[in-house]
Amino acid sequence: MADHARGPGVPAVTLAEDPPPIDGSGTSRARCVLAPNPSPMTLNGTNTWLIAEPGSPTALVVDPGPDDENHLRRVVDLLAGAGQRAAQILLTHGHGDHSAGAARLAALTGAPVLAADPAFRLGETGLGPGDVLAAAGCEVRVVATPGHTADSVCLLVSADGALLTGDTVLGRGTTVIAQDGNLADYLGSLDRLRALADEAPLRVLLPGHGPLLTDPAGALDFYIAHRRERLAEVSAALAAGDRTPAEIVARVYVDVDRGLWPFAEWSVRAQLAYLADEGALPPGMTN
C-alpha cells in the first residue's frame, strides 16, 4: 500500500525517465507477472513473482495477487510455457491484494500456500524467520520484516542478490503502516534490511508494487529518512495544537489526494502509538 506523501527534506527514490515495463521485469531467477488491479494504493497493480533456478522444472509463486481468474491462469500458463509447475505459493503478508488469489491458484496447481500467519496457509508449512526454501532449485531465505503488517516477510534470492520486499518497500513512494502494523517494528525491519543490503550484498529490490529498485542501499536510506522526517512532522503538528489523527493528516498530508486520507490516518495512528511508547506525546494526551 502506497503512501504518496513525503517531507520536503527527503529526496524521492529516483527512477529512470522512461522506466522499463514492470510486467516481465526481474532477474535471472525471478520474473514479475503484473496483476490487473491498479489503484492509488496498489500503484500499477500487485507484482506476482515467479522464482526458479534456470532449467528447474519447479517454481515458487510469490503473492498471487487478487482473485482474478485471468491473472491466475496467466501465471499457470507462463509456468507451463517455461516447462515448470508451481511447487509452493508464498505470501509476503496477508493483505487481500497479495493473498486473495492464493486459494484459487492452489486449486489450479495443487501447490500448498505458505505464509507467516497460519490463517493464510493451505497446508502445514509456514514461513519462519531464517527458513530456507529450495523447491525451485535455488535458495530462497525468509527474512522476517514486521511493521507494515505483523506478518510481513521478505524473501532473499541470494544467487541474484535480490530481495522480494512485498509491501515493506515499494517501487515508488513509501508504504503505509496498516492497522495491524507497528512503527517500531517497521523501523527495526528497515534497519535490518539496510544492514542486509551491505552484507548480502543486495543488488536489486523486487517490490510488491511498482518497478524494481536497482539501488537497494539508497532506497532503504530514503525509507529510513522518510520515516524519521514523518515522525518529526507529526511531532510538529502536535506542538502546533493538533490532537486527532484527522487533524494531523490534514496538516501533514495536505498535498495528498483527500481520498487517501483515511489510509494516511493508519500511519498517523501508528506514529502516535510510537510517540506514546517513547513518552513523547504532549502532557495529558493519550493515544
The full set of domain ranges for the chain reads: 2-214
Q: Is the bond into 201 cis (omega within 30 degrees of 0)? A: yes
Residue 10: pLDDT over 90: no
Active site residue 180: no
Residue 232: pLDDT over 50: yes
In tens, the pLDDT along 191-217 reads 999 999 999 999 999 999 999 999 999
Compute CA distances 245 → 5, 59, 264, 269, whole Å. 16, 44, 9, 6
Res 1: pLDDT: 53
- Higher per-residue confidence, 73 vs 285: 73
When mean pLDDT is compared across 28-37, 84-93, 264-273, the lowest value belongs to 264-273
pTM for the model stands at 0.92
Using DSSP, state whether 243 is helix, strand or coil. coil
Res 11: pLDDT: 29
| Interacting residues of 166 by C-beta distance below 8 A, sequence separation 6+ | 63, 92, 93, 98, 145, 148, 152, 153, 154, 207, 208
DSSP letter string over 23-81? TT-B-SSEEEEE-S--BTTTBT-BEEEEE--TT-SEEEEE---SS-HHHHHHHHHHHHH
How large is the C-alpha radius of gyration of the chain?
19
Active-site residue (options: 3, 68, 97, 160): 97
**β-bridge pairing 47-51 and 30-34:** antiparallel
In tens, the pLDDT along 14-60 reads 334 456 799 999 999 999 999 999 998 899 999 999 999 999 999 99
Residue 78 C-alpha cell reads as 507462463
Give the right CATH number for 2-214 from 3.60.15.10, 3.40.50.720, 3.40.640.10, 2.60.40.1930: 3.60.15.10
Res 259: pLDDT: 87
| Structural contact between residues 111 and 121, judged by C-beta atoms closer than 8 angstroms | no
In tens, the pLDDT along 127-184 reads 999 999 999 999 999 999 999 999 999 999 999 999 999 999 999 999 999 989 999 9
**β-bridge pairing 85-90 and 58-62:** parallel
Q: Please give the biggest Cα pair distance in the chain.
A: 64
Question: What angle, rounded to 10 degrees, do the helices at 183-199 and 261-277 form?
Answer: 90
